[in-house]
């Protein structure tokens, strides 16, 4: 039975990847940081999953975990991935999202360099994109401390692959969403807001820049690509994306139309929620993944939007809190703002799990990419 260790196990991607690997017959262990808060709602429904305590800021704990679990594959999905918060917590972001990768690779080199390693890189590394669409050869130009930290993690993965012969791959994942997204991300804020308005629990949805564009896919599709990368004869880096770009406005229109409402009657554009500097157009070219991995997305954009709205309708009708159940996000209020401030309409940023098992002291106005301190990107 193959063995896998997943960091960021309590996040969106960690839960989907654990489901996928358990279905493949893996023995799966999730790394979680010792915390005063219980944050297991996305994985509580999984049987056969083991958890072990460890911390990406502590090399000795990572060595201990690898010796204890003896994995064949390690998937590093953990990060401080709320990009706006990276402006307010740049040192912590760099330590977790950047140096955490180095510590994990050094632990692998020390304990068993035959372990195959997956690093969750991000489209945020492209930032001020130099070409459209972006592919594996596109120059990087990150525009936030988060993007810079992710870029360090990406290049140190390449360095350990080339210097020590470790089978190490980076997946440069573009935005990927699901009903398990946290409410601090704009896609989930929209689906939750639409469900509340439909059920008479709210009247308005306040958003920022409706013209911001992203390449959005379904997280459940993207975790398969992670696994496929580690099954190849040679390690490489791959862009994983749909190749389509959509605006926040399109997401809003589809979400409201799905429940028979006109978005213009309910959406308020709030200039205070615009970010000071938007990243340029991010849309991925996943040709290499299609050609070499045989991977392609299965869930299209309209289906993804409907899936998320339906899940929030079901949750609210059942009287669950936002953080209840395996399919839902991580905000413990019924319609209130995420911890650290009100949510806004900026596109969510990341290509990784969005959960390193800890909670930062403060998030920006909803944890999307690129925000400067005190301002919500939009």
Catalytically active residues are 122, 124, 146
The answer to whether 183 and 245 have CB atoms below 8 angstroms apart is no
Residue 9, token pair as written in the block? 């196990």
CB-based contact 51:18 (threshold 8 Å) = no
Nearest to 205 by CA among 154, 251, 137: 251
List strand residue ranges (DSSP E) for the chain, in order: 3-7, 27-32, 49-53, 73-76, 116-122, 168-173, 176-177, 205-207, 213-214, 217-218, 238-240, 246-247, 267-269
Omega prior to 104 cis, within 30 of 0 = no
Cβ atoms of 164 and 285 closer than 8 Å: no
Q: Rounded to an integer, what distance in angstroms lies between the CA atom of residue 101 and that of residue 156?
A: 8
Strands 246-247 and 213-214: antiparallel
């Amino acid at each position: 039975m193959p063995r896998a260790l997943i960091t960021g196990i309590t996040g969106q991607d960690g839960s989907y990847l654990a489901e996928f690997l358990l279905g493949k017959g893996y023995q799966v262990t999730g790394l979680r940081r010792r915390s005063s808060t219980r944050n297991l709602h996305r994985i509580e429904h999984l049987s056969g999953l083991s958890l072990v305590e460890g911390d990406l800021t502590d090399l000795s704990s990572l060595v201990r975990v690898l010796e204890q679990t003896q994995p064949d594959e390690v998937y590093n999905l953990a990060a401080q991935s709320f990009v706006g918060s990276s402006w307010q917590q740049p040192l912590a972001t760099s330590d977790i999202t950047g140096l955490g990768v180095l510590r994990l690779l050094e632990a692998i080199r020390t304990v068993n360099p035959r372990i195959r390693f997956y690093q969750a890189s991000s489209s945020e590394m492209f930032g001020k994109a130099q070409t459209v669409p972006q592919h594996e050869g596109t120059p990087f130009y990150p525009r936030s401390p988060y993007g810079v930290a992710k870029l360090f993690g990406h290049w140190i993965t390449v360095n350990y692959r080339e210097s020590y012969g470790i089978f190490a791959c980076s997946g440069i994942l573009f935005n990927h969403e699901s009903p398990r997204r946290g409410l601090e991300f704009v896609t989930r804020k929209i689906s939750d807001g639409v469900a509340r308005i439909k059920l008479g629990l709210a009247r308005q949805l306040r958003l920022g820049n409706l013209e911001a564009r992203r390449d959005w896919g379904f997280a459940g599709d993207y975790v398969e690509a992670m696994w496929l990368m580690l099954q190849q004869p040679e390690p490489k880096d791959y862009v994983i994306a749909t190749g389509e770009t959509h605006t926040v406005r399109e997401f809003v229109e589809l979400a409201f139309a799905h429940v028979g409402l006109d978005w213009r009657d309910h959406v308020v554009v709030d200039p205070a929620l615009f970010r000071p500097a938007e990243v340029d157009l991010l849309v991925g070219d996943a040709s290499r993944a299609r050609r070499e991995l045989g991977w392609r997305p299965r869930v299209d954009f309209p289906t993804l939007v409907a899936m998320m709205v339906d899940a929030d309708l079901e949750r609210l009708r059942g009287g669950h809190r936002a953080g209840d159940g395996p399919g839902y996000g991580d905000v413990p209020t019924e319609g209130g703002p995420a911890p650290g401030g009100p949510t806004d309409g900026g596109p969510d940023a990341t290509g990784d799990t969005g959960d390193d098992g800890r909670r930062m002291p403060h998030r920006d106005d909803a944890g999307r990419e690129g925000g400067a301190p005190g301002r919500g990107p939009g």
